[in-house]
Chains A and B, each alone.
Chain A
Amino acid sequence: MSIDHLLKKLSVRSPWLFRINAGSCNGCDVELATTACIPRYDVERFGCRYCGSPRHADVVLITGPVTTKVRDRVLTVWNEIPEPKVTVAVGICPISGGVFRDSYSIDGPLDRLIPIDVNVPGCPPRPQAILEAVVLARSIWMKKLGLEG
């Protein structure tokens, strides 16, 4: 087994999370920031860490229905994230637009703009579902690195 292979195999055990709020109502963000991930259900046990900079991110969690105003900003930040990255849509809004789907100010759903790897439906999703999505993102990351999940 080469060193490169070993590093890749180890790397999926350290997914750093980055949150993008694409016009969310903050429900999913509260789930991500305060209940699901760090303090109570502890996403850190998978080696995760929230990072402030898109340059450090591996797994991108996007919440919100992508409003017209925020669309270009989301794309800019998403393009700043180095490869390989895994994109997770958290909540029903980025998946279908949710309760905002017929609104004049919505440019979603998100998968029209960027490729989504994992969908987590819910309004907001349960913390366990978000954790499962992070674990799923790890196996997708492995496939992107050319390893079998």
Chain B
Amino acid sequence: MTDTLLALLHMCLFPGGVFALAVGFFFKGLDRRVEARLQSRVGPPLVQPWIDIAKLLTKETLIPKTACRQAFLMAPVLGFTGMAVCAAFIPVPGVFNGLFNMGDLLVLFYLLPIPAMAIMVGGSASSSPFGAMGFSREMSLMLAYETPLLMILLTVAMLVGKGLTGGAWGAEFSLLKIVAYQQQTGSFGLNPVMIPALLAYLIFLPGTMGVAPFDIPEAETEIIEGPLLEYGGPLLALFQVTSALKTFVVLGLGVALFFPGTVSDLWLVNLGWFLLKTLALMLLSLTLVKSASGRMRIDQAFRFYVTVPCALALCSLLLVWFV
């Protein structure tokens, strides 16, 4: 009973819920600001994502007559719930170990595609042809970027499994042990064997976050925001909240997999260090790429994801397997 209560508390306050939301929205604001600075503009204020949410809450909600009402209303809730649970599994090294007694890397792998699925359900329930087009694009893209992600997770798990059993064949999917192992033997991000996997993870990030050059399912100039076309007001706000939570989750997972080192025994310092690392990861893989690139076609993006990151991840996987 107390376990359940504690888990709920972690989902609502730290590291999920309030904390993840605050970090996600701060990063989103910073992302827009940095992108503007890179293009020699001024950019919006840092609190802009919060203001957008406030604005969306005051707007009216319109539901299309031909839409499937229940699915249309439930889709954003589904995505939000998935990510809210997911955020509690993210370990903050030196501060919080994640809900390790409730799930591991594989649970996270199953929870991660939920926002994309919510967008697909919402898009197809909206009865708009653009929603259907966005649905098919989201699905192809998801299939393409989930493959390298699975290989990256497997690589990390196998390296830890080998280390813990002293060279024997095995895989360790517990995030707690993955973080602890790296804190003893050094971060995987600095291990030459793991560099291809790290690169593959950096390429995976813009795809899963749906930013340029992989913002194909919600392309506003081609298919007028696709699945999100018919959403407005509070429902759209919920999609934005989900996206902010997802930013925290995928960046936090990246830090846990590749850079979970700590710098001191003080939890406050460790928290700051964690935020710095996630921020660096975001600027490198999302903001820089986004502000310098246009949008790919869906077939180009699909081909890119099943070749480049897959090859990189496979490279690391084979190295870990045989060396």
- Complex interface: chain B residues within 8 A of A40 (CB): 41
Given contacts A7-B57, A50-B220, whether A55 and B230 have CB atoms under 8 Å apart is yes
Contact B220 A11 (CB under 8 A): no
In this complex, the member of B42, B62, B219, B232 whose beta carbon has the largest number of chain A beta carbons within 10 angstroms is B232
A-B contact count (CB 8 A): 90
- Complex interface: chain B residues within 8 A of A115 (CB): none
Q: Is the interface of B mostly helix, strand, loop or mixed?
A: loop
- Complex interface: chain B residues within 8 A of A16 (CB): 55
B184 at the interface (CB under 8 A from A): no
A145 at the interface (CB under 8 A from B): yes
Contact B54 A10 (CB under 8 A): yes
Q: Which of A41-49, A67-75, A87-95 contacts B (4 or more CB under 8 A)?
A: A41-49
Given contacts A14-B48, A83-B60, whether A42 and B36 have CB atoms under 8 Å apart is yes
- Complex interface: chain A residues within 8 A of B62 (CB): 55, 80, 82
Distance (whole angstroms) from the CB of A80 to the closest CB of chain B: 8
B18 at the interface (CB under 8 A from A): no
Contact A14 B52 (CB under 8 A): yes
Residues 147-169 (chain B) with a chain A CB within 8 angstroms: none
State A12–B51 Cα separation when bound (angstroms). Answer: 9
Given contacts A10-B55, A42-B36, whether A82 and B233 have CB atoms under 8 Å apart is yes
B2 at the interface (CB under 8 A from A): no
Contact A52 B58 (CB under 8 A): no
State A93–B50 Cα separation when bound (angstroms). Answer: 37
21 residue pairs of the A-B complex, CB under 8 angstroms, read: A4-B58, A7-B57, A7-B58, A8-B58, A10-B51, A10-B54, A12-B55, A13-B51, A38-B41, A40-B41, A42-B43, A44-B36, A47-B44, A47-B48, A50-B220, A51-B225, A52-B219, A53-B220, A55-B62, A55-B231, A82-B233
